[in-house]
Chain A
Amino acid sequence: EAGVAQSPRYKIIEKRQSVAFWCNPISGHATLYWYQQILGQGPKLLIQFQNNGVVDDSQLPKDRFSAERLKGVDSTLKIQPAKLEDSAVYLCASSLAGRAAYEQFFGPGTRLTVL
């Protein structure tokens, strides 16, 4: 079974630029999550989708971050404009609908460096 795919794996941008990350979840997984993991910390949930609807985006900085999941499969996370403090690894995870939240599978992440 193929895992969660993410791209790019690495991205370096200047502050105030925009950036987008892409995630392809495990086939058949209806629930998709985006996390931000700052170096030395645990992942922090940014947004959760169930199919193409948002379940929880309470920790998403909506003034600069946006996410979408068209057709209930792939998802993109965008930052515009980026700040220095956005430097982190952005993780995507997915799980089967109806399974407990902790039973999710993570992708390898995208490491973002904002200069």
Chain B
Amino acid sequence: QQQVKQSPQSLIVQKGGISIINCAYENTAFDYFPWYQQFPGKGPALLIAIRPDVSEKKEGRFTISFNKSAKQFSLHIMDSQPGDSATYFCADGGKLIFGQGTELSVKP
């Protein structure tokens, strides 16, 4: 089964800092590259997604960068806030194969 590999597993960032989470994929036939956010006790929620013909997409403080040649896409959270503390998942946008998750903690 195709893999989606996410790093780091956990991340601690100071309030106001930049959080960066990376995702490597194997299959180049994805239609979309999404990121999900999951708070404890809740289901994942779609945060932002990018098409493979676009190199970057920004929505508020959240940016996806896509590097097709390296088969990687990353999530950048600018001006990280304590409310951003959650687990983030990248996924294969077609079959919804999820990465292992990155637990982000933003310290005040």
Q: Does A72 interact with chain B (Cβ within 8 Å)? A: no
Contacts of B31 in A (CB 8 A): 100
Tier of interface size on chain A: 20 to 34
**Residues on A with beta carbons closer than 8 Å to the beta carbon of B43:** 4, 91, 93, 106-109
The residue from B32, B99, B100 contacting A102, defined by CB atoms under 8 A apart: B32
Tell me if B91 counts as interface (CB < 8 A to partner A): yes
Establish whether residues A103 and B46, one from each chain, have CB atoms under 8 Å apart when the complex forms. Answer: yes
| B-side interface size class | 20 to 34
Question: Bound complex: CA of A17 vs CA of B64, how far in Å?
Answer: 44
Task: State which of A44, A91, A102, A105 has its C-beta within 8 Å of the C-beta of B34.
Answer: A102
Q: Give the shortest distance, in Å, between B103 (CB) and chain A (any CB).
A: 9
Choice from B93, B97, B98 contacting A100 with Cβ under 8 Å: B93
Q: Does residue A40 face the partner (Cβ distance < 8 Å to B)? A: yes
> Beta-carbon contacts of B3-33 to A below 8 Å, as 1s and 0s?
0001000000000000000000000000110
- What string of 1s and 0s marks CB contacts (under 8 Å) between B73-97 and chain A? 0000000000000000101011111
Which residues on the B side are within 8 Å of A104 (C-beta)? 46, 96
